[in-house]
Chains A and B, each alone.
Chain A
Amino acid sequence: MSLTLKRVFMAVFGLLGALFLWPCLLTLQYYQESFPSYLLFSLAQGIALGMAFGAFFGSFEGIVVSSRPKAFSGLLFGAAFGAVAGAAGVMAGQLFLFSAGSALWKTASARNGVGLAIASGVAWTIIGVILALTEGLRARSARKLLVGLAGGSFGGLAGGAALSAVSYFFPGEPWSLLAGLAVFGLSLGLCYSLFENRFSSGALMLLNGPLKGKEYYVLSRAMRIGSGSDCDIVLKGYPDVEKAHATVRASGGKVVVEQERSGARVLVNDEPPAGRALKPEDVIAVGKAKFIYGYFG
């Protein structure tokens, strides 16, 4: 999958999250009266939002690298992490409302109106940021965390503002809620994928085999390549590829590729890598798989 297509997919995943979440939120709102307090009601909504978007975004990486186990584990990890993100975001929004909010909106109508709308926006933004950190935490990659922080901040802010604005200007309108959620998912997905490119140390494009055309950003200090499902680049269907075959390491602006164990075929331009830094258009062989290194998209 090319990087452009990957961006489109990411946006589509945001929309799918919105589609899934919308009826869930409407159902929660129908049962609003059953909640003992505003806080618990907000928490329930925040957790639902976090879980839905977390699950969809969490499974994204597994789907684009055609690894079903990774997609399913990402789904579960994303949902669990998203629930925590939702709760944390709502609590932060409440904290904002009762600390800075009381100084900013002194009248009851302002507090219950625009103050609450902005506090909700803060909550959605924080949920967006935390959601965008999911992949970074899952992959334990500082670079991916940075991507999540930047993409989540911009996407969460834009999406959170949209979601709060529609709730404020069209309260109780189900279709406006759907529109707000769609903008939230879309902006989070798009902003994440845009920053993914900006913070990467280049990308590897697969040149042959069943996964040819797929592009992988170098965003981690260590990116494992192999046929095992736990690898960052999973090469299923490629001859002579070990479960853990090679590692791409990025450090100090230098990207190198190394064998995971001796005997595993790893070549850069048909020669052993020998710790040499990769440069654009280098051709890397991992077993029978071949990549080209560069900056695409």
Chain B
Amino acid sequence: MTTTKRAIAAALMAAAGAGAWAQGISITQIGTERLLSNQETRVYVSAPALGLADGVEPPLFEVWESGDGADWLQRPVSRVSLEPNADEGISFFLLLDNSGSMWTDPAGAEAQDAGGSRIESAKAAARAFLGALSPKDGVGLAVFNTRYWNASPPGGRPADAERVLDEISRPGTEDAFTELFLSLQRGLADFAAEPGRRVLIVLSDGENYPYALKTGKPNPETGIRSASPSDIVDSAVRDGVTVYAIRFGAQRDPLVARIAEETGGRTFDAMDGAELARVYDEIRTDVLSEIAVDYRAGMIPGEKRWVKVAVANAAGGRLSATRHYFAGTVLGRGAGEPRPYYLLFVGAAAAAWLTLVLAKLERETDRAGVRLLYGSQATRFFAIAGPQTVIGAAPDADVSIAGNPSLKASHATILFDEAKNVYTIVADSPVSVNNHNVVRRRLESGDVINMAGTVVVFDEELAKGPKGPKGAEGGKRR
């Protein structure tokens, strides 16, 4: 998209969204399950302001994506589904506070009877909620105080969660703390693998009251670990989980509301059991009435992507909502504009390759000599000069080779017949030439001479002319 088009699009979006943001529609969850396979992303939209009745045609949604929240690119919408969660089911995960204060009455006083405590009201509301779930829904339940107990793992049946409610007992003093944030994060980790629409409902009657921070001792389960609201929001957004918060009683954690809002959820306050039951019901109704908008995702570089949805309402106005999600970065976070020095790398590699291709790696032989084949001095070359060249261990030999006690002082001699341009090896006792023992033999280039274990290769110009041997570098003329 050109800069001009982008500017127009941004202006249109600004106009469309003006006065409508946060008034009527919101994005509750962004699903990336089919992003890598189908290039498709699903946005769940809560849109009570549209007042859609049963059987109506889905409204026309527009979707925009951005890598920075400022520069928007419209994406094609492939499908809009009304109330998809009724058909596809919802994954719920209930996170229930079982700290010491939950065993007091709604006013914070010691409960006079078993049914008057906050925990009993919470259990009753949870039972009512579980009883209303559809068979297509999955549910799990975890209980927390100082400790975290994933008692009924996500994806289970309501009956399993109900059984857990019966097992909840009053914690001892050490276990009575409200480890709210850390438990939320652990709950998110346990819940994130559930498919489809994921809704975590946390109920607490107090503020985050971490054991390690308040007592100076490590938490029996998590040590000195802690979790901040931004950590929780990050985890929830990365895994596409919506957090709904229920603050029960008068003491309310201010930050949990922020967590709920930033993950696409809402915060509810309740003072008694009846209100609690209504809140649970409202959450379920909200989620059931959501609209799913599937669209073809773009290829904007970067891990964080912003999505904006816009829709016309019955009055002819436009409503819009924005939220972000995280895409993988392995394919690149987006490289900068190609630099001129890139050509240097390409050119250097190509030039090095061409040099190796064109370089004359071969070494022509232009003089006769012998070369050691093995050992530490392998490839050392001794030139042969003059009519006869003595090879042996003696320091004054023409080709003096040290290190082999079996090598005689004068082991063999190479004779050169200048008239015929022929080299011949002669020895008093046999030497091996090309694995044959000889005392005299005409040599040719490449012959392998083994003298009592010292192996040399005789070498000379392959295309020999009538000339004689060249200079005597490395050897001595006798």
Contact of B299 among A22, A41, A62, A164 (CB under 8 A): A41
Specify which chain A residues have a CB less than 8 angstroms from the CB of B342 in the assembled complex: 23, 26-27
User: What are 11 A-B contacts with C-beta separation under 8 Å?
Assistant: A19-B348, A20-B350, A29-B335, A59-B353, A71-B357, A112-B35, A112-B327, A112-B328, A167-B332, A210-B365, A283-B447
Q: How far is the CA of A71 from the CA of B346 in the complex (A)?
A: 19
Contact of A283 among B330, B343, B446 (CB under 8 A): B446
Are B338's CB and A113's CB within 8 A? Answer: no
- Known pairs A38-B331, A108-B238 / 20 extra A-B pairs, C-beta < 8 Å: A16-B353, A23-B338, A26-B335, A29-B332, A30-B337, A30-B338, A33-B298, A38-B35, A111-B32, A111-B33, A112-B36, A167-B330, A171-B332, A171-B333, A208-B365, A208-B446, A208-B462, A212-B459, A269-B436, A292-B373
The total number of A-B Cβ pairs within 8 Å is 197
B329, CB-defined interface residue at 8 Å: yes
Are A59's CB and B346's CB within 8 A? Answer: no
Shortest Cβ gap from A22 to chain B (Å) = 6
Are A1's CB and B39's CB within 8 A? Answer: no
Shortest Cβ gap from B348 to chain A (Å) = 6
Given contacts A26-B338, A109-B239, A209-B462, contact A66 B328 (CB under 8 A): no
Specify which chain A residues have a CB less than 8 angstroms from the CB of B357 in the assembled complex: 59, 62-63, 68, 71-72
Are A172's CB and B335's CB within 8 A? Answer: yes
Which of A37, A213, A282 is the most central at the interface, judged by chain B CB atoms within 10 Å of its CB? A37
Q: Of all chain B residues, which has the CB nearest A18?
A: B349
Are A208's CB and B459's CB within 8 A? Answer: yes
Q: How far is the CA of A1 from the CA of B379 in the complex (A)?
A: 12
Shortest Cβ gap from B67 to chain A (Å) = 9
For chain A residues 82-140, which have a beta carbon within 8 Å of chain B? Answer: 94, 97-98, 106-109, 111-113, 116-117, 120
A42, CB-defined interface residue at 8 Å: yes
Specify which chain A residues have a CB less than 8 angstroms from the CB of B303 in the assembled complex: 171
Are A27's CB and B338's CB within 8 A? Answer: yes
Contact of A36 among B39, B329, B363 (CB under 8 A): B39
Specify which chain A residues have a CB less than 8 angstroms from the CB of B364 in the assembled complex: 210, 237
A199, CB-defined interface residue at 8 Å: no
For chain B residues 448-478, which have a beta carbon within 8 Å of chain A? Answer: 448, 457, 459, 462-463
Specify which chain B residues have a CB less than 8 angstroms from the CB of A117 in the assembled complex: 330
Are A116's CB and B36's CB within 8 A? Answer: yes
Are A174's CB and B335's CB within 8 A? Answer: yes
Q: How far is the CA of A282 from the CA of B330 in the complex (A)?
A: 54
Q: How far is the CA of A35 from the CA of B462 in the complex (A)?
A: 60
A229, CB-defined interface residue at 8 Å: no
Q: Of all chain A residues, which has the CB nearest B356?
A: A63
A238, CB-defined interface residue at 8 Å: yes
Contact with A along B16-58 (1 / 0, CB 8 A): 0000000000000001110111010000000000000000000
Are A66's CB and B333's CB within 8 A? Answer: no
Are B349's CB and A16's CB within 8 A? Answer: yes
Specify which chain B residues have a CB less than 8 angstroms from the CB of A37 in the assembled complex: 39, 299
Shortest Cβ gap from A226 to chain B (Å) = 16
A274, CB-defined interface residue at 8 Å: no
Shortest Cβ gap from B294 to chain A (Å) = 15
Q: How far is the CA of A211 from the CA of B198 in the complex (A)?
A: 70
Specify which chain A residues have a CB less than 8 angstroms from the CB of B337 in the assembled complex: 30
Specify which chain B residues have a CB less than 8 angstroms from the CB of A17 in the assembled complex: 349
Are A292's CB and B448's CB within 8 A? Answer: yes
Are A172's CB and B334's CB within 8 A? Answer: yes
B361, CB-defined interface residue at 8 Å: yes
Specify which chain B residues have a CB less than 8 angstroms from the CB of A277 in the assembled complex: none
Q: How far is the CA of A257 from the CA of B353 in the complex (A)?
A: 34
Specify which chain B residues have a CB less than 8 angstroms from the CB of A106 in the assembled complex: 192-193
Q: How far is the CA of A56 from the CA of B436 in the complex (A)?
A: 44
Are B362's CB and A210's CB within 8 A? Answer: yes
Are B299's CB and A33's CB within 8 A? Answer: yes
- Which 6 pairs of residues, A with B, have the shortest CB-CB distance? A290-B446, A172-B333, A23-B342, A106-B193, A208-B446, A210-B362
Which of A9, A34, A117, A213 is the most central at the interface, judged by chain B CB atoms within 10 Å of its CB? A213
Given contacts A209-B365, A209-B445, A283-B446, contact A34 B330 (CB under 8 A): no
A141, CB-defined interface residue at 8 Å: no
Specify which chain B residues have a CB less than 8 angstroms from the CB of A269 in the assembled complex: 434-436
